């Protein structure tokens, strides 16, 4: 949701900002822009389209800021692209977030004689800072004063041509400082922007302001302008992890990384037949005090909660709900001390999830999270965090983060069930053994890629699709439909298989591909009846079933075989064909798989 970068150091700043923006492009790719400072003058270059396809013509400089946009307010035009400059062209800003009161602020600034060149909410920030500067106060104070007038969320990097300083400031939007060689600095929306140059970072928190002047960084609370001491940490991700490594797309690479990332997520956490989660000891001690568990997340992360609701209830015998974070927050939920809220998020920055967890916390719930990005806002605001170790996920469509979330929640459920004495030690040990076997089964599933690619090619021209499953495979059907929609733009719907006959069956004809997840488990016979119902109406049936199910293979149009796992863990296997099917369909249709239209990786606005 917009990528912002600033650089201050000894190298060609505009070039470094451009390279860093290219690595952040998954956050937004409507338009881009860079402003650099040389000879006390700001020079600007802005373009509609993708930065990955662009060349730069800015003069060399030591300090620059840049932005890659995912439009919220104002169309995709050069004028609306960031950076935005004040009237006197002495202040430039880049912004990620939403200024909710921008219309009122804009009106006030217009009355004072400011002239605007675009329609974005962000442009008011440049003019507000310019206005504050008239008070002859330090630049950082002018930025802080301007920020205090903003309602909504922001990560802003501002550049001042008069003092040659750069200021970063944040509230409810991510911003991280990278400390490079010779005290050069990067400011960016996430670490992927500068991993090639440094792994030493300082994560800014809400209300933090950082001033970069020469080779110095100083930190303040922008509300009080009190100086702050910040902790430097080392990021474990490698810069290679954020490269395609020979794969055509990041999404494909990330699908194929899943066995390895599942192993990483389990590493050190499954010991001698037990789940060992030191980060959760405090919460697990209270395992018997909770009456209910609520999973919160958005999109794919929400589906992870929906899948594991089945497993958690089965193992722990405790009521579990999974809710869209975006809905939870706005319905005055009944939640309190006896609830354990589990937030799920790859980025740890999703605005809807953040708002929901704050609501739950304010009402007294215990809050834990399953997060991929270390030290992200959701992670920091949780009572305990269980990190998935998926590494950087660059493809906009979430894949490896999802399977790692499922693995992490499964571990948590086993540990929880043991504490609540809801499962025997031997059952827990057998589940742990099944978890350990998963990566091999995931690898086996990936080996079906040629079959899945051929099926994808056969159906790639269709305009609609249905995905059906039962029990914990229903959310996997939802995930299959979401993957197909977001990267191939084919309209897809998912529902519990039995629900089809209550209406959607009217859609079935020879043009409608229906993907069934039909593993030989307790609901198999029922799903089989639903397959027959589709066949009877000339629909095209593609099934995902367990190896050796030749009876079903003969009944349907296309079959994808997967290995069988412990039933409670089977969704972790079943989702892989869904991901590959969507990928190969989208690729065949010539879609931009890693950067689907209208989307952005991390949705940091509500
Ligand atoms: O970073 P998060 O996991 O909080 O993101 C949640 C959703 O925005 C995300 O899963 C989205 O639905 C993906 N594009 C799905 O592939």
Contact 388, 370 (CB under 8 A): yes
Q: Rounded to whole angstroms, how far apart are CA atoms 110 and 103?
A: 10
CA of 480 to the centre of ligand 1 (A): 14
Which of 509, 506, 500 has its CA nearest to residue 537?
A: 509
SS3 411: helix
Nearest CA to ligand 1 atom 12: 299
CA of 324 to the centre of ligand 1 (A): 12
Q: Which of the following is catalytic: 2, 298, 316, 404? A: 2
Q: Is 300 in the pocket of ligand 1 (CB under 6 A)?
A: yes
Q: Looking at the predicted structure, is the pLDDT value of residue 493 above 90?
A: yes
Q: Is 398 in the pocket of ligand 1 (CB under 6 A)?
A: yes
Of residues 525 and 583, more confidently modeled: 583
The yes-or-no answer on residue 226 being catalytic is: no
**Which of the residue ranges 381-385, 399-403, 602-606 would you say has the lowest mean pLDDT?**
602-606
Q: Is 523 in the pocket of ligand 1 (CB under 6 A)?
A: no
Q: How confident is the model at residue 2 (pLDDT cuts 50, 70, 90)?
A: confident
Contact 65, 166 (CB under 8 A): yes
243: which residues sit within 8 A by CB, 6+ positions away? Answer: none
Percent share of the chain, pLDDT over 90 = 82
Q: How confident is the model at residue 37 (pLDDT cuts 50, 70, 90)?
A: very high
Taking only the tens place, the pLDDT of each residue in 305-320 is 999 999 999 999 999 9
SS3 387: strand
Of residues 59 and 284, more confidently modeled: 284
Taking only the tens place, the pLDDT of each residue in 96-154 is 988 999 999 999 999 999 999 998 999 999 999 999 999 999 999 999 999 999 998 89
What does residue 542 show for φ and ψ, rounded to 5 degrees? -115, 125
**For 89-184, where are the alpha helices, taking DSSP H only?**
102-111, 123-133, 139-148
**Which of the residue ranges 237-246, 362-371, 465-474 would you say has the lowest mean pLDDT?**
237-246
Q: Which two tokens stand for residue 367?
A: 């809050």
Which of 175, 191, 178 has its CA nearest to residue 94?
A: 175
pLDDT for 601? 67
Q: Which two tokens stand for residue 583?
A: 């990928």
Q: Which of the following is catalytic: 46, 261, 449, 601? A: 601
Taking only the tens place, the pLDDT of each residue in 418-452 is 999 999 999 999 999 999 999 999 999 999 999 99
Q: How confident is the model at residue 241 (pLDDT cuts 50, 70, 90)?
A: confident
Q: Is 301 in the pocket of ligand 1 (CB under 6 A)?
A: yes
CATH H superfamily, domain 447-588: Glucose-6-phosphate isomerase like protein; domain 1 (3.40.50.10490)
Q: Which two tokens stand for residue 58?
A: 């800015």
Contact 40, 79 (CB under 8 A): no
Q: How many C-beta atoms lie closer than 10 Å to residue 137's C-beta?
A: 12
CA of 602 to the centre of ligand 1 (A): 7
**For 267-298, where are the alpha helices, taking DSSP H only?**
281-285
Q: Taking each helix axis from N to C terminus, what angle separates 570-588 and 449-459, rounded to the nearest 10 degrees? A: 50
Q: Is 530 in the pocket of ligand 1 (CB under 6 A)?
A: no
CA of 143 to the centre of ligand 1 (A): 32
Q: Looking at the predicted structure, is the pLDDT value of residue 605 above 80?
A: no
Q: Is 588 exposed, middle or buried (0-12, 13-18, 19+ CB in 10 A)?
A: middle
Contact 546, 520 (CB under 8 A): yes
pLDDT for 69? 87
Q: Rounded to whole angstroms, how far apart are CA atoms 169 and 220?
A: 9
The distance of Cα 33 from the centroid of its chain, to the nearest Å, equals 23
pLDDT for 137? 97
pLDDT for 577? 98
Q: Is 500 in the pocket of ligand 1 (CB under 6 A)?
A: no
Mutate to test the pocket of ligand 1, among 295, 398, 605 (most ligand atoms within 8 A of CB): 398
Shortest-distance atom of ligand 1 to CA 399? 16
Q: Which two tokens stand for residue 132?
A: 């504050």
Taking only the tens place, the pLDDT of each residue in 342-393 is 999 999 989 899 999 999 999 999 999 999 988 888 999 999 999 999 988 9
Q: Is 376 in the pocket of ligand 1 (CB under 6 A)?
A: no
Q: Looking at the predicted structure, is the pLDDT value of residue 604 above 70?
A: no
SS3 310: helix
**Which of the residue ranges 230-244, 329-343, 534-548 would you say has the lowest mean pLDDT?**
230-244
Write down the residue that tokens 């140059």 correspond to: 197
Q: Rounded to whole angstroms, how far apart are CA atoms 517 and 542?
A: 9
pLDDT for 73? 79
User: For the chain, give me the number of helices (H) and strands (E)?
Assistant: 18, 27
What is the DSSP annotation of 499-563? GGGGTGGGG-STT-EEEEE--SSTTHHHHHHHHHHHHHTT-EEEEEEETT-HHHHHHSSEEEEE-
Mean pLDDT, the chain, rounded, equals: 93
Segment 240-250 shows an average pLDDT of 83
State whether CATH 3.60.20.10 applies to domain 3-243: yes
Q: Rounded to whole angstroms, how far apart are CA atoms 602 and 489?
A: 19
What is the DSSP annotation of 189-202? SSGGGTTTT--EEE
pLDDT for 264? 93
Q: Looking at the predicted structure, is the pLDDT value of residue 581 above 70?
A: yes
pLDDT for 326? 93
Write down the residue that tokens 């249905």 correspond to: 466
SS3 96: strand
Q: Is 298 in the pocket of ligand 1 (CB under 6 A)?
A: yes
Q: Rounded to whole angstroms, how far apart are CA atoms 423 and 101?
A: 53
Domain residue spans of the chain: 3-243, 252-445, 447-588
Is there a common fold for 3-243 and 447-588?
no
Q: Is 353 in the pocket of ligand 1 (CB under 6 A)?
A: yes
What does residue 410 show for φ and ψ, rounded to 5 degrees? -60, -45
Nearest CA to ligand 1 atom 7: 299
Which of 551, 487, 537, 484 has its CA nearest to residue 515?
A: 484
CATH number of this structure's domain 252-445: 3.40.50.10490
pLDDT for 182? 86
Half-sphere exposure of 11 (CA within 13 A, CB side): 16
Percent share of the chain, pLDDT over 70 = 99
Q: Looking at the predicted structure, is the pLDDT value of residue 603 above 80?
A: no
Mutate to test the pocket of ligand 1, among 29, 346, 351, 479 (most ligand atoms within 8 A of CB): 346
Q: Looking at the predicted structure, is the pLDDT value of residue 257 above 70?
A: yes
CA of 321 to the centre of ligand 1 (A): 19
pLDDT for 131? 96
The yes-or-no answer on residue 2 being catalytic is: yes
What does residue 393 show for φ and ψ, rounded to 5 degrees? -105, 115
């Amino acid at each position: 949701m917009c990528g912002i970068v600033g650089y201050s150091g000894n190298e060609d700043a505009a070039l470094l900002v451009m390279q860093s923006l290219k690595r952040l492009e998954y956050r937004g790719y409507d338009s881009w822009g860079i402003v650099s400072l040389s000879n006390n003058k700001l020079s600007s270059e802005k373009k509609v389209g993708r930065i990955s396809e662009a060349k730069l013509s800015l003069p060399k400089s030591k300090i620059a800021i840049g932005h890659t946009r995912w439009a919220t307010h104002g169309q995709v035009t050069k004028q609306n692209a960031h950076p935005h400059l004040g009237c006197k062209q002495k202040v430039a800003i880049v912004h990620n977030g939403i200024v909710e009161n921008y219309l009122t602020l804009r009106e006030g600034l217009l009355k004072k004689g400011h002239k605007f060149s675009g329609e974005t909410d962000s442009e008011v920030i440049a003019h507000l800072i310019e206005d504050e500067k008239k008070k002859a106060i330090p630049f950082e104070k002018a930025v802080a004063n301007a920020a205090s007038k903003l309602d909504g969320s922001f990560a802003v990097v501002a550049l001042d041509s008069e003092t040659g300083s750069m200021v970063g400031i944040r509230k409810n939007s991510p911003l991280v400082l990278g400390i490079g060689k010779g005290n050069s600095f990067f400011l960016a929306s996430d670490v992927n922007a500068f991993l090639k140059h440094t792994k030493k970072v300082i994560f800014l928190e809400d209300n933090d302001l950082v001033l970069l002047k020469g080779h110095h960084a100083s930190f303040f609370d922008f509300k009080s302008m009190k100086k702050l001491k910040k902790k430097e940490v080392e990021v474990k991700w490698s810069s290679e992890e954020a490269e395609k490594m020979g794969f055509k797309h990041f999404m494909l690479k990330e699908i194929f990384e899943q066995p390895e990332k599942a192993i990483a997520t389990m590493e050190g956490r499954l010991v001698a037949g037990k789940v060992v989660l030191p980060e959760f000891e405090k919460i697990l001690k209270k395992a018997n005090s909770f009456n209910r568990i609520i999973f919160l997340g958005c999109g794919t992360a929400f589906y992870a909660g929906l899948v594991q609701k089945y497993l958690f209830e089965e193992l722990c015998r405790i009521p579990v709900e999974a809710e869209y974070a975006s809905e939870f927050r706005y319905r005055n939920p009944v939640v309190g001390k006896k609830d354990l809220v589990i937030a799920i998020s790859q980025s740890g920055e999703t605005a809807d999830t953040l708002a929901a967890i704050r609501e739950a916390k304010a009402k007294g719930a215990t809050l834990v999270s399953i997060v991929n990005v270390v030290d992200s806002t959701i992670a920091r605001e949780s009572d305990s965090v269980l990190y998935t170790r998926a590494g950087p996920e660059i493809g906009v469509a979430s894949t490896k983060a999802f399977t790692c979330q499922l693995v992490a929640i499964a571990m948590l459920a086993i540990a929880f069930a043991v504490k609540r004495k809801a499962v025997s030690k031997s059952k827990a040990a057998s589940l742990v053994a099944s978890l350990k076997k998963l990566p091999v089964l995931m690898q086996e599933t990936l080996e079906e890629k040629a079959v899945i690619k051929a099926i994808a090619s056969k159906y790639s021209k269709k305009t609609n699709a249905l995905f059906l499953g039962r029990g914990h495979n229903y959310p996997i059907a939802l995930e299959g439909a979401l993957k197909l929609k977001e990267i191939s733009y084919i309209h897809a719907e998912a529902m519990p298989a039995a629900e089809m006959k209550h209406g959607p069956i009217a859609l079935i004809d020879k043009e409608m591909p229906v993907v069934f997840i039909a593993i030989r488990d307790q609901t198999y016979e029922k799903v089989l009846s639903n397959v027959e119902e589709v066949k009877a109406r000339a629909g095209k049936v593609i099934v995902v079933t367990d190896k050796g199910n030749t009876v079903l293979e003969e009944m349907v149009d296309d079959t994808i075989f997967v290995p069988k796992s412990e039933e409670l863990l089977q969704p972790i296997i079943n989702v892989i064909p869904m991901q590959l099917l969507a990928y190969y369909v989208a690729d065949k249709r010539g879609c931009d798989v890693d950067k689907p239209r209208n989307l952005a990786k991390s949705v940091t606005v509500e």
